[in-house]
Amino acid sequence: MGQIITITSGKGGTGKTTTAAALSSCLAVLGKRTLCIDFDAELRNLDLALAMSNYAVMDFVDIASGRHKIKESCSESPQIPNLFFLTAPAAKIPDNIGVEEISMMFKNIRAEFDYCIIDAPAGVGRGFRLANADVDMSIIVTTGDLSAMRNATRTADVLRGMGVKKLRLIVNKVNRKKFRKIRTTIDDIIDITGVRLIAVVVEDMNIQMALHSGTPLVLYRNRKAAYEFLDAARRLIGEDLPLKKL
């Protein structure tokens, strides 16, 4: 039975979409049949990070509404075997798609895939709540900025209130010099959010370079951050790897 993992953040700009694309790509590279879903209706851009803009045909509402089946709806990556994609609708999620419909979709996805990575919209609105309905884990992405940490803490509280029991934390865009200047540490972020750490990802210009070249980060030639996302994926599948320390 597959696992549903949602990538969340309290605010935009933390690198949530990059994280969703990178983790799903890394899981696929590790041999896991992986589906990546964009839940950010209207503002969808996960296809860019996956280098699949020309391949997404159907959106997840087609599945949740029962109009189409999983097997016939997902687009397969031309560059990474085992990686599949469903985009978000171009308009808002219809009112007739609720928790019951999403839970049934997740049940069907679990039967077809080892992992499903969901890119949830920022904030804690309706799209966020649907994306976290009946999930196995939610990974909160934050940076060292005070506003990001505050919003990550709020997001964790909302997720716990929704009944999500397994929460993990990725501290993204880490710049050692900046952390020293603002006197912030990874331990500070863990203490503030109260969430268990799964990865520390350095600030890396190669993420933007890979995006603009139309190459998934895990396949890009210079990929410091990609190795850290790969380690995070390995931890998700049960490998015991030491966490990076500043």
Cα–Cα nearest to 217, from 54, 46, 76, 85: 46
pLDDT of residue 38: 95
pLDDT of residue 159: 97
Is position 23 within any domain?
Answer: yes
Q: Are 16 and 207 in contact (CB under 8 A)?
A: no
Q: Are 229 and 26 in contact (CB under 8 A)?
A: yes
Segments forming the whole domain that contains residue 213: 3-236
Is position 196 within any domain?
Answer: yes
In terms of residues, how long is the chain? 246
Q: In Å, how far are 51, 188, 213 from 244, measured between CA atoms?
A: 28, 15, 28
User: Tens digit of pLDDT for each residue in 32-75?
Assistant: 999 999 999 888 889 999 999 887 678 899 899 988 888 888 99
Cα diameter, the chain: 54
Is position 244 within any domain?
Answer: no
pLDDT of residue 245: 63
* Distance from C-alpha of 8 to C-alpha of 232, rounded to nearest angstrom: 15
Q: Which residues of the chain have pLDDT under 50?
A: none
Is position 175 within any domain?
Answer: yes
What phi, psi does 223 have (nearest 5°)? -145, 70
Is position 37 within any domain?
Answer: yes
Is position 246 within any domain?
Answer: no
Is position 241 within any domain?
Answer: no
* Distance from C-alpha of 141 to C-alpha of 17, rounded to nearest angstrom: 10
For strand 83-86 and strand 3-8, is the pairing parallel, antiparallel, or unpaired?
Answer: unpaired
Is position 49 within any domain?
Answer: yes
Number of compact structural domains in the chain: 1
Q: Are 114 and 106 in contact (CB under 8 A)?
A: no
What phi, psi does 59 have (nearest 5°)? -110, 170
DSSP per-residue codes, 100-126: HHHHHHHHHHHHH-SEEEEEPPSSSSH
Predicted model pTM: 0.94
pLDDT of residue 246: 61
* Distance from C-alpha of 15 to C-alpha of 139, rounded to nearest angstrom: 12
CATH number of 63's domain: 3.40.50.300
**Cβ neighbours for 35, distance < 8 A, ≥ 6 positions apart:** 24, 70, 74, 84, 85, 86, 109, 112, 113, 115, 116, 117
- In terms of C-beta density within 10 A (0-12 exposed, 13-18 middle, 19 or more buried), how is residue 81 classed? exposed
DSSP-assigned beta bridge partners for residue 7: 119, 139
pLDDT of residue 101: 95
